[in-house]
Amino acid sequence: MSAKYDVAAYVWPSYTGDEPRTRMFWPAGFGEWETVMKAGKKYPEHTWPRRPLWGYVNEADPRVMEMQIDAAADHGVNVFIYDWYWYDRRPFLEQCLNTGYLGARNNDRVKFYLMWANHDVSHLWDIRLSSSPVENTIWKAAVDRPEFERVASRMIDTYFGHPSYYTIDGKPLLMVYDLAILISGLGGVEPARDALDWFRDRAVRSGLPGLHLQACLRRSGSNLTGVDGAVPTAQAQVIGRLGFDSISHYQFVHFVDIDRDYDAIVADVTAEWKRIEREYTIPYFPHVSVGWDNNPRYTTFRPGVVRGNTPDAVERAFAAARAYVDAHPGQAPLVTVNSWNEWTETSYLQPDDLYGYGYLEAVKRAFG
């Protein structure tokens, strides 16, 4: 019997030392857990430090992921959205997915799909340098057409045919994080549309029924700068020209003011959902973020901290997302959640020493 709702939580695959290139950011050799371990209060009322009840586990270990998959499924999280990276002509941080999740014997309990996290990389992940006033780019995420085809072929050949890959109408779903970077690398909106059309055709030629492409939204009505010249272009117009099949969000911080109480944030979020319905003709899948506070990544305080995001408050946001799904029976019952494990952005469902299993229990109560 399938679940009535598909609750999909983003996975930040950095909590492993198995990727050699992570040593430049986290030299201790166990990924961004190094930053979490060192995080502390930035002001008297700060709710850090928080610590994971499961410990600083290696999420590229199949046994660890079997435990996490069971915990997710038992509480109603039945999809993982893996942040997926490609830099310097090769993938980055694939081990959590390839070795951990795909190596888990129970990965049929929680499906997965990819979000191509095609953003540039600076020293943000390195707490020794993140507070520097100068931001140096380490890796550019934009790819040209030949590199795009290598990326697409890897996704199709390695992931899309897996029996646990999440599909809509039988088509594997892929989310694209940064449209402006995608377009700039490919040389404009029309060349990007041509590349995406090639991607769909390549999927069909590989024996798949097609491809469901999902765009990651920013604030409704916003423009994408640097697209086809210096003139800003409306986000909705670009998404339409590129032929995306659906839209969702990655984080509340991308489209509402988050430096306030959680319930007030969610009121603006649900209003944004209504604006999106008026602006787009393709399905929107409602998004819920557990919180936001990225101060663990810095030595100095950074404003922008969600307050009052208790499990009860987050459950109310889940209930709003559930109501949205119920009101749109013609589309897939998908809700995206930030996130499964974004500890350094303080937006996670995993149990901690502050609320225990509170957030997971909130999922279970809201979605059954």
Instruction: For 237-249, write each residue's pLDDT tens digit.
Output: 999 999 999 999 9
Q: Domain 6-367 has what CATH class?
A: alpha beta
**How far apart are the C-alpha atoms of 284 and 334, rounded to whole Å?**
9
pLDDT (average), residues 295-323 = 97
Residue 229: its pLDDT value, please? Answer: 62
pLDDT at position 33 over 90: yes
Please tell me the number of Cα atoms within 13 Å of 40 on its side-chain side. Answer: 3
For residue 368, name the pLDDT band (cuts at 50, 70, 90). Answer: confident
- In percent, how much of the chain has pLDDT > 90? 93
Residue 230: its pLDDT value, please? Answer: 54
pLDDT at position 263 over 70: yes
Residue 109: its pLDDT value, please? Answer: 98
> What is the average pLDDT value for the chain, to the nearest integer?
96
pLDDT at position 131 over 90: no
Cβ neighbors of 352 (< 8 A, separation 6 or more) are 50, 51, 52, 53
Question: pTM (2 decimals)?
Answer: 0.97
For residue 1, name the pLDDT band (cuts at 50, 70, 90). Answer: very low
Instruction: For 325-357, write each residue's pLDDT tens digit.
Output: 999 999 999 999 999 999 999 999 999 999 999
**How far apart are the C-alpha atoms of 148 and 186, rounded to whole Å?**
8
Distances (CA, A) of 195 to 105, 149, 173, 192: 36, 8, 17, 5
The neighbouring-strand residues paired with 9 are 80, 337
Residue 133: its pLDDT value, please? Answer: 83
Helix (H/G/I), strand (E/B), else coil: 63: helix
Residue 232: its pLDDT value, please? Answer: 63
For residue 319, name the pLDDT band (cuts at 50, 70, 90). Answer: very high
Residue 293: its pLDDT value, please? Answer: 98
Cβ neighbors of 35 (< 8 A, separation 6 or more) are 26, 125, 127, 296, 297, 344
Tokens of 63: 């046994």
pLDDT at position 98 over 80: yes
Instruction: For 199-232, write each residue's pLDDT tens digit.
Output: 999 999 999 999 999 999 998 878 886 666 655 6
